[in-house]
Amino acid sequence: MIAVLGLVLGVVIGVVTRPVVPTGMEPYLPIAVVAALDAVFGGLRATLDGVFDDKVFVVSFLSNVVVAALIVFLGDKLGVGAQLSTGVVVVLGIRIFSNAAAIRRHVFGA
Amino acid sequence: MTPVNQPNEANQPNQPNQRNEPDASDGPRRPTGRAALLAALWPPRASRGQLVAAVLLFVLGLGLAIQVRAAGSEDTALRGARPEDLVRILSDLEDRSARLEDEQSTLEDQRAELENSSDQAEEARRQSEERERQLGVLAGTVAAEGPGITLRVDDPTGAVTADMLLDAVQELRAAGAEALQINGVRIVASTSFVDHNGGVHVDDERVRAPFVIDAIGRPQDLEPALNIPGGVVQSMENKQAAVAVTRPETVTVDALRSAEQPDYAQLSS
């Protein structure tokens, strides 16, 4: 419940305050958001499985974000940034889908 | 911290179990997903896991909101673009502007050409209208007015013949008359003067006395041309005809001839 409140609060504050992201960070923000989404879905699935561990959640969340940003950064340096970020999004999307499928099985039993 | 939270943490998976025990036959160890979700949602517990998840989700929500807003606004769309994308966009724009400039210069050339040609066409039309008017006066297809003289010949004895009228007309032409008519018959290059049955026929039309010849031209030239000794006026007066030459302010020659279309001759230009 508190976690959901945190998410809502984050969205509201982001919309209301309109913070400015540093220019150097901008290319990595969308990828980081997608990676964080993957971690959140993973955490939700773990909760439903009854194996949720906050340490695992924190580590997976941060490492997901950092690794995703790192991959994009590396891609930019190598000149294949666009393709690599597409690849990252595809992989994370697949993971989100499989987690969502597990969650669905838990919640709806189907 | 940890020891306090530990039991709470440990309770988390167990709590749904306890709640479900009365009605759920799903299995003692595994709660159903729906029940687990409800259990995780409803009794708000300030456990460490919940707080940590809340902080991370707060960050996620913030990033989500920022990114959605950034992607939605056109102005900042280029700010996050990669250098190679920016270079491509720039070169696309340069190509496009070069193409458009080409097109612009082509269209400007075309416009200048069209304006030029329409000016020329206008000038040609004006000139041909002017020429048509001049030729119409000569050919007798349009009315004309201007300075000139009027020659009136009263012929009580019927002594005036076609020859004498033709002399008068030729004298006037030689003096520079531009448009002529006699008793309402326009005189042009092909006009005929014939004596017929004791009268005078001009272009097959009977003309009776008094003969009135209207001539447009320079009066100072026309009048002396008629009055020279032994000229038209004198020879007519010798035949007992009364001749009067007047200089009205304007002479109007409004008798017309229809333009004849040639049957065989065609323009050879």
**pLDDT digits over A59-75, tens only?**
888 998 899 888 888 88
Instruction: At B137, list the tokens.
Output: 């006066």
Dihedral of CA atoms B171, B177, B179, B182 in degrees, nearest 10, equals -30
Alpha helices in B42-80 (DSSP H): 48-72
Question: Taking CA atoms, what residue in B is nearest to A45?
Answer: B33
Vertex B49 angle, CA B47 and B55, to 5°: 105
How far apart are the CA of B90 and the nearest CA of chain A, in angstroms? 17
B151 and B241 in contact (C-beta within 8 Å)?
A: no
Summary mean pLDDT of chain B: 80
pLDDT exceeds cutoff 50 at B90: yes
pLDDT at A81: 78
Instruction: Name the residue among A59, A66, A73, A65 with its Cα closest to residue A37.
Output: A65
Residues in chain A closer than 8 A to B84 (CB atoms): 79, 81-82
Name which residue leads in pLDDT, B2 or B218.
B218
Q: Which amino acid is at A87?
A: G
Instruction: At B182, list the tokens.
Output: 């006699």
Q: Do A6 and B37 touch (CB under 8 A)?
A: no
Cα–Cα distances in Å, from B195 out to A91, B14, B161, B188, B191? 119, 145, 7, 18, 14
Residues in chain B closer than 8 A to A2 (CB atoms): 44-46, 50-51, 53-54
Instruction: At B198, list the tokens.
Output: 């004791």
Domains of chain B, by residue range, sit at: 2-72, 81-139, 145-253
Q: Do A50 and B13 touch (CB under 8 A)?
A: yes
Instruction: At B153, list the tokens.
Output: 């010949």
A5, A48, A79 ranked by CB distance to B36: nearest: A48
Model confidence pLDDT, tens digit, residues B130-183: 998 888 888 888 888 899 999 998 888 878 888 888 888 898 889 888 899 988
B218 and B147 in contact (C-beta within 8 Å)?
A: yes
| Chain A CB within 8 Å of residue B57 CB | yes
pLDDT at A106: 82
Q: How far apart are CA B204 and CA B195, in angstroms?
A: 10
Name which residue leads in pLDDT, B197 or B104.
B104
B32, B54, B84 ranked by CB distance to A79: nearest: B84
pLDDT exceeds cutoff 60 at B3: no
| Partners of residue B242 on adjacent β-strands | B154
Of A91-95, B89-93, B236-240, the poorest mean pLDDT is in B236-240
Name which residue leads in pLDDT, B33 or A9.
A9
Q: Do A6 and B33 touch (CB under 8 A)?
A: no
According to DSSP, residue A52 is labeled: -
Residues in chain B closer than 8 A to A61 (CB atoms): 56
Vertex B15 angle, CA B14 and B16, to 5°: 95
Q: Band of the pLDDT at B17, cuts 50, 70, 90? A: very low
Q: CA end-to-end span of chain B, whole Å? A: 114
- Global pTM reads 0.44
Residues in chain B closer than 8 A to A40 (CB atoms): 56-57, 60
ipTM over the 0.85 cut-off: no
**Residue B190: how many other CB atoms lie within 10 Å:** 10
Name which residue leads in pLDDT, B162 or B108.
B108
| Chain A CB within 8 Å of residue B89 CB | no
The H or E element that residue B149 is part of is strand B148-154
How far apart are the CA of B2 and the nearest CA of chain A, in angstroms? 12
Cα–Cα distances in Å, from B79 out to A20, A22, A25, A84, B67? 12, 10, 11, 20, 12
Q: Looking at domain B145-253, does it have CATH number 3.30.70.1880?
A: yes
